[in-house]
Structure 1
Amino acid sequence: MTEHHFSRRVGAIFSFLVFVVFLSGCGGGSHQGQPGWTKVDLTDVQPVIGDWEGTVTKAQDILPVGSVLLRIHENGTYQFVGQSSSDVAVGTGHLEAQGGELKGDTEIRVLRLSLFSHRSKPVLIVDAAHRLTGARYHGEFTKAK
């Protein structure tokens, strides 16, 4: 194989990988419109008050970043603690209803919570972005037992 042919092939593979990463990042993990998933409009925090547990992935990563426990209070505040194999994260903030979802905005992160019904069980979808690093995260949570 010539050097020119090899370079073109590496370029094509790289372009394909960038395209796949782009698609996976834009997918956002939304279940809206998928069979068996029904979006529940959130006009306040009442339907999601309590403890939730789930797994969070960092955008473009295939493997889960870690497990997260999320607690949402009646006054709209939330607390979370997350743990991966190499890190621990904690945080708090306030949620407000906007457009059928809950949104939070702090100095460190912005997040959007969407509630779905799947197989007659509530599933809370959380999409977040870290303001300082630009890292994006996607989580799927179920009510803690």
Structure 2
Amino acid sequence: MKPVTDRHWSAAWLGIPYLEAGLTRAGASCWGLVRLVYDHELGITLPSYAGAPCEAERAEIAGALAGDAAAWPWREVPVDRAEPFDLMLFRYGLTESHVGLVAWPGHHLHVMTGITSRIEAYRRAPWDGLVSRVLRHVNVG
């Protein structure tokens, strides 16, 4: 993995603790981290699902991302065409239950239970084979 320098946008988002339904730098869920980065780095406000417990949050996110493109501006892109700020959706069992952001091709920024936000390779264990979809916001790229 290439080292993250202070100049890379992702450096500002490392080390944030996981907090179920969290939406701040003091603690964020996987969706909360995505929302923070989109707001601060891209000026794009995503829904917060504030106060939603983790399972409800995941259901809401999945529903929104599967919704009408006119109402929710995401388009699917092939994994091998993933670019910075694309959403990486990961499937555990039957549901897409985790989301991260492409930091650079092959690596994603994410946070989850038991870890602070970090960058990991999504083409190696434990993530290899769990990527469900890659989505790009129409106002990015």
**What TM-score does the superposition give when structure 1 sets the normalisation length?**
0.31
Which of the pair is proportionally richer in helix? 2
Larger RCO (alpha carbons 8 Å, 6+ apart): 2
Which of the pair is proportionally richer in strand? 1
